[in-house]
Amino acid sequence: MQYIYGPVPSRRLGFSLGVDLVPLKVCTLDCIYCQVGRTTRKTLERHEYVPTQAVLTELEQNLKSSGRIDYITFSGSGEPTLHAKIGEMIHRLKQMTDIPVAVITNGTLLYREDVQHDLMEAEVILPSLDAASEQSFWKINRPHRQLDIRNIITGMEQFRRKYKGQIWLEIMLLKNVNDNLAELQKLKEAVARIQPDKVHLNTAVRPPGSPSTQIKVEALTQQELEKIRLQFGDKCEIIVSFQAAEQQAYDTDVEAAILALTARRPVTIEDMANSLSRHRDEILKYVTSLLSEGRLLKRQHDKHHFYTNAEANATKRSL
């Protein structure tokens, strides 16, 4: 599968079948905390970045063979609303299955009427809003030069009035960047305007794909997040790593294959994806889990990130 990955366990969406609509990494932003890495093409232009029919064919094939799927989720390696035919894909997907559709978006294009129209048939939209001031927006999200945070917030507000589904707004909080009283007050005012069904607080517990040399990306503590959660009211929750009683979507064979590959030599996400014939975003889920468990190590060389098996690395050092 080239465009479909999973189902994989998701913190907010249960077992999610992912749909990747843009190449790595085409986006409207270049967020300092992004785990996928630096944006290679920063743009506001909507195109058919990947062939619509090929995506639909893969979806149809996958739906016949996959097990439990709670959501079909448009997300992936960049900003999915940049794909000019995302609306057509959602519409045609509705003719294939009753599984609800979610779209994970940075929300920057929700001011556009064509994007608003394209997302109307999805059950859940999960936009992000990490800043409500222009200064913090540029510091955290490093946007395309034509984007303005005021227009983005207004766009989300307009979309809320038209859209009948669920909106779950995510706020990524970074220590000493957007967790101060002034910025939080502006974020609360923006949330009051947008009126999402849920507010999800997140923080950068894992290192970004390409660390910023200017701003330290540091996570807030659980206690700090809890204090902020209380300020946003009952609709707000802290999102944590997904835990499920049955982890049938987590393939231990894939995990074992990743550990075997990284025991031989340092490899990139792309190396693993190619070797295992899996989508890079699916591999990234496993790698993120293994890193958090201390079973993989990550290092950077010539702007690329390489991963090694921690146990094998320790054994080699002891010899």
Residue-wise pLDDT tens digits, 198-240: 999 999 876 676 666 578 888 899 899 999 999 999 999 998 5
At residue 256, the pLDDT reads 86
At residue 248, the pLDDT reads 44
At residue 2, the pLDDT reads 83
Out of 94-103, 114-123, 309-318, pick the least confident. Answer: 309-318
The string of pLDDT tens digits covering residues 123-156 is: 999 999 999 999 999 999 999 999 999 999 999 9
Domains of the chain plus CATH, in order, are 4-238 (3.20.20.70), 252-314 (1.10.10.10)
At residue 318, the pLDDT reads 53
Helices within 80-180 (DSSP H only)? 86-94, 113-118, 134-141, 149-162
At residue 261, the pLDDT reads 83
Out of 54-68, 246-260, 302-316, pick the least confident. Answer: 246-260
Q: Is the pLDDT of residue 24 over 70?
A: yes
Rg over alpha carbons for the chain, rounded to the nearest Å, is: 19
Residue 302 CB contacts under 8 Å (≥ 6 apart), including other chains: none
Name the residue with tokens 């998701």.
10
Residue among 6, 20, 92, 72 at smallest CA distance from 50: 20
The answer to whether 125 touches 12, Cβ cutoff 8 Å, is no
CA–CA distance, 256 with 275 (Å, rounded to integer): 13
CA–CA distance, 229 with 234 (Å, rounded to integer): 9
The answer to whether 118 touches 90, Cβ cutoff 8 Å, is yes
Residue 198: count of CB within 10 angstroms of its CB: 17
Q: Between helices 52-65 and 86-94, what is the axis angle to 10°?
A: 30
At residue 275, the pLDDT reads 72
